[in-house]
Structure 1
Amino acid sequence: MHMWERLYASAFEKVKANIGNVRGVLLAYNTNIDAIKYLRKDDLETRIERAGKEETLRYSDELPEKITSVPQLLGSILWSVKRGKASELFVESCSTRFYMKRWGWDELRMGGQVGIMANLLGGVYGVPVIVHVPQLSRLQAGLFKEGPIYVPGVEDGKLRLVHPGDFKGDEESCIHYIYEFPRGFRIFDFESPRENRFIGSADDYNATLFIRDEFRERFDEIASKVDLAIMSGLQALTRENYREPFETIRGHLEVLNEKNIPAHLEFAFTPDETVRNEILKLLPEFWSVGLNEVELASIMEVMGEKGLAEKLLAKDPVDPIAVTEAMLRLAKETGVRRIHFHTYGYYLALTDYRGEFVRDALLFAALAAASKAKLGDVPSINEVVQAMGVPVNEKVKPVEGTLAEEYGMRGGIAEVDNYQLAFVPTKIVAKPKSTVGIGDTISSSAFVGEFALEVSF
């Protein structure tokens, strides 16, 4: 593992020295407020008994498509606890939303993939970001960090970029309720194999992918100010409401591709199969996509690869050969140039271009994720290096061995079917402060880090 420590140290220095090369990143579309509740066994058990244990347990075996009752909410939380897997569902019923509000929260944080990435890229790394914020309430504005973070506004017919804190207006708050549990969390006869969370979303703006007028009317002008784009927030759409937002996104991707601006799609678990199919059709317009095993399995399912989908969820750590096969299927089907896979313990990137900078960007991302898990939040890029003290995950040695045997991988890099496969073992924080936003930290750090390094060559 000494080789990895050496590679980690050098990757951090390289990215830190070059991240200033990135002129700007466009982030769209979902920003919200996360209300975090740390689950307590006695409280949750009492609530389940009150709501009806038998009915609640039904949903711990199979997730509903959306939440329309309190037993569905509590059962979906149990689904995540049982598996140690994250999940997010839209809460449709007003009475269940009111129940969550009364249940309360332990802390409020910036939420939404875009909000989390904006605070990291702009507030920590100092990379200028232009952010789409569906609803800019005072509460939302106050959760943005200081730094080069901008929202577009139009004044006297001219596009103006202002920090969210200086935005004039007080709109509605979009709240996502996050129920966090630690590894070993016991309830009834379940025990969670690892720390994770369940998210109940009470937010009508992100659920319909509401896109602000400034973005619709001035997208060309906004895009000319950036080098990269990261898009997310498609996961809450349904077969009833996806058409209009997808049309807008297609138009945005056309503009980005005309300007040669690489766009990354940060995938998230999308319960609606129709929407998953449509995302698959949209992927050829993206440069890059980021996902974990649950998300990759859900895409394999709509591609008719049921067996491969099952393999992705069968083992812990996830079988890297199944992951590589699934990534190859996805790359060949869509022509997407970069697929970034992150799971507990290791990351992989499959690219149709080559270079150590791909692996180095993954290493930087792993440090950023460990730093976020350890501190709860990353105060500055210099703090990222503190995660060097976190040990490299020893449990993935067999994963590395399998990749070396199957693909001749050396130093985390291999050639597979005319693609480059990059692998890194991650650093695992034994008792993370929080798991929320770690996937977004990983994906945005790797994508932006890779671009910063590539530009420096």
Structure 2
Amino acid sequence: MKWREFVREFSNMSIYLAYNVNVDAIVYLNEKNIQKLVDTFGAGNILKKLDEYPRQIDEPLDFAARLIHALRTGKPNAVPMFNQKLNKWFDSHFKYDVERIGGQVGIIANLLANLDFKRVIAYSPLLGKRQAEMFVDKENLYYPSVKEEMLRLEGIRRAYKEGDPVKVNRIFEFRKGTKFRLGDEVVEVPHSGRFIVSSRLDELRIETKDDLRPFLPQIGEMVDGIILSGYQGIKNFYPDGKTADYYIRRAKKDIELLKRNKDVKVHVEFASIQDKDLRKKVVREIFPLADSVGMDEAEIAHILNVIGYPELSDRIFNYNRIEDVVLGGKIILDETNLEILQIHTIYYIMYITRSSNPLSEEELRASLELATTLAASRASLGDVKSPEDLKVGAKVPYNEQGEYVKLRFEEARRRIRTRGYKIVIIPTRLVKNPVSTVGLGDTISAGAFSSYIAFLRKKGVY
């Protein structure tokens, strides 16, 4: 199918999304504001802190060190911030260029609504007015609530709750080729990307509220697919005495309830979890209940590290060879019993599934084509506001490493046992000067999962 055919299929499809919505406050970095940050803290202090590699941001120097690491490697990253007192420091030191909806649910909900899906139901346990009003004003976008002991779908922009706190993530966008001085070193940013300071509010719980939970089986019957995300927001301990284990159990029960009356496909969009124990729990407890998972190559390495493959994890981190990513993806697919794994990187997108999958390799490639076209449209325009915007992404050429990617993939297939699997790869359509890189991974995963379902529906196997 071409992108216009997918869009026609989408108009008859409904998707449910949960759990994370926030406000993205975006700063576009340049040589001047990067150098000012380095000079403020001092290159020596930053490098010393970088050696410690802080896993969360407890003070401004932690932020400076992890940001510089992202700039030197050119790799996107997100680091949690639990200390809400730092909000004032960020707000006083940076002028935000853009404020818009964020969180995987927020980004994907607006995208799918603008692609004219039949119905998009988006849920967040917290929905402040500032967040609600950042959703697109579309009649196909709903929020699930309970009124008079019955499930009600209401327009999401009107469904906000007075008094709900607003989660603000600060996103620092950087461009390939930007240069700055770090002591005796002149750093040139190798790739465009973003660094996210991910706020962790005490009030936020990754869960379905008790009043809505009994209606999850009904919601599961109403939709063709479910995308769940935000597990990176779970904390080990909460002020009320609850722990990560409590919320992991609730998350598992949510999936079981959604699937109770209909074997609806569930996609989990994985995001970086700094705490190793929590990461392992999400992989071991949540993944086996899902049908599909989306992640990037760094997240594959993080997962392999906690499920017993540290050497392969290190190889992916240090060398990023396609054959190692394929091997790691196969391990995750098998150990968590997924139906399909989707991997997105700067230069390629990949599906790994079993040979029994009802879709052909050609159909799987077409699904990935739709995904990279969507992402190229978003990168070019900053947002996808209508199906016609996909024309822009379709004109973006594949990246300059495309032929090399195909060659290395064929070499990997010869070196690794792939019998029993369908593994397909396509180069990404890479925008040289993107308007924004925020949400590109979410866009790819949402496009891939939705088009995968569209193919299954069209073939009559779902």
User: Within 2, Cα distance between the matches of 1:342 and 1:367?
Assistant: 13
Q: Deviations over 1:198-227 (max 9, x none)?
A: 111234168642543444342222222112
Equivalent residue, structure 2, for 1:233: 230
Counterpart selection for 1:349 from 328, 348, 351: 351
User: Within 2, Cα distance between the matches of 1:177 and 1:161?
Assistant: 31
Q: Deviations over 1:223-244 (max 9, x none)?
A: 2211211111111323333212
RMSD across aligned C-alpha pairs, in angstroms? 2.1
Equivalent residue, structure 2, for 1:172: 165
Q: 1:214 to 1:26 in 2, by over 3 A?
A: farther
Equivalent residue, structure 1, for 2:97: 106
User: Within 1, Cα distance between the matches of 2:369 and 2:160?
Assistant: 40
User: Within 2, Cα distance between the matches of 1:49 and 1:215?
Assistant: 51
Q: 1:332 to 1:169 in 2, by over 3 A?
A: closer
Q: 1:58 to 1:149 in 2, by over 3 A?
A: farther
Matches within 5 A, 1:81-160: 81-102=71-92, 103-147=94-138, 148-160=140-152
Counterpart selection for 1:33 from 16, 19, 23: 23
Matches within 5 A, 1:35-434: 35-61=25-51, 63-102=53-92, 103-147=94-138, 148-167=140-159, 169-170=161-162, 171-188=164-181, 189-204=186-201, 208-209=205-206, 211-240=208-237, 241-258=243-260, 259-282=262-285, 283-315=287-319, 318-352=320-354, 353=357, 354-355=359-360, 356-407=362-413, 416-434=418-436
Counterpart selection for 2:444 from 439, 442, 445: 442
Residue type of the alignment partner of 1:106: D
User: Within 1, Cα distance between the matches of 2:80 and 2:249?
Assistant: 22
Deviation (angstroms), 1:59: 3.5
Contact 1:293–1:343, Cα closer than 8 Å, also in 2: yes
| Secondary structure at 2:85 match in 1 | helix
Residue type of the alignment partner of 1:14: E
Residue type of the alignment partner of 1:180: E
Equivalent residue, structure 2, for 1:7: none
Contact 1:208–1:242, Cα closer than 8 Å, also in 2: no
Q: 1:406 to 1:105 in 2, by over 3 A?
A: closer
| Secondary structure at 1:14 match in 2 | helix
Q: Deviations over 1:158-182 (max 9, x none)?
A: 2111111122533221100111111
User: Within 1, Cα distance between the matches of 2:160 and 2:168?
Assistant: 21
User: Within 2, Cα distance between the matches of 1:365 and 1:125?
Assistant: 16
Q: Structure 2 stretches of 5 or more lacking a match?
A: 238-242
Residue type of the alignment partner of 1:13: R
User: Within 2, Cα distance between the matches of 1:73 and 1:342?
Assistant: 26
Contact 1:242–1:275, Cα closer than 8 Å, also in 2: yes
Q: 1:62 to 1:196 in 2, by over 3 A?
A: farther
User: Within 1, Cα distance between the matches of 2:213 and 2:90?
Assistant: 34
User: Within 2, Cα distance between the matches of 1:431 and 1:310?
Assistant: 31
User: Within 2, Cα distance between the matches of 1:29 and 1:14?
Assistant: 30
User: Within 2, Cα distance between the matches of 1:296 and 1:90?
Assistant: 19
Contact 1:21–1:452, Cα closer than 8 Å, also in 2: no
Q: 1:50 to 1:415 in 2, by over 3 A?
A: closer
| Secondary structure at 2:222 match in 1 | coil
User: Within 1, Cα distance between the matches of 2:202 and 2:385?
Assistant: 29
Moved more, 160-169 or 360-369: 160-169
Deviation (angstroms), 1:337: 1.0
Contact 1:216–1:248, Cα closer than 8 Å, also in 2: no
User: Within 2, Cα distance between the matches of 1:125 and 1:428?
Assistant: 25
User: Within 2, Cα distance between the matches of 1:213 and 1:45?
Assistant: 49
Residue type of the alignment partner of 2:194: R
Q: Deviations over 1:342-382 (max 9, x none)?
A: 10111110112141322211100000000000000111112
| Secondary structure at 2:429 match in 1 | coil
User: Within 1, Cα distance between the matches of 2:247 and 2:325?
Assistant: 30
Moved more, 60-69 or 424-433: 60-69
Contact 1:15–1:452, Cα closer than 8 Å, also in 2: yes
Moved more, 281-290 or 306-315: 306-315
Residue type of the alignment partner of 1:169: K
Residue type of the alignment partner of 2:310: K
Residue type of the alignment partner of 2:192: E
Q: Structure 1 stretches of 5 or more lacking a match?
A: 1-9
Q: TM-score, normalised by structure 2?
A: 0.90
Deviation (angstroms), 1:387: 1.6
Moved more, 158-167 or 262-271: 158-167
Contact 1:14–1:453, Cα closer than 8 Å, also in 2: no
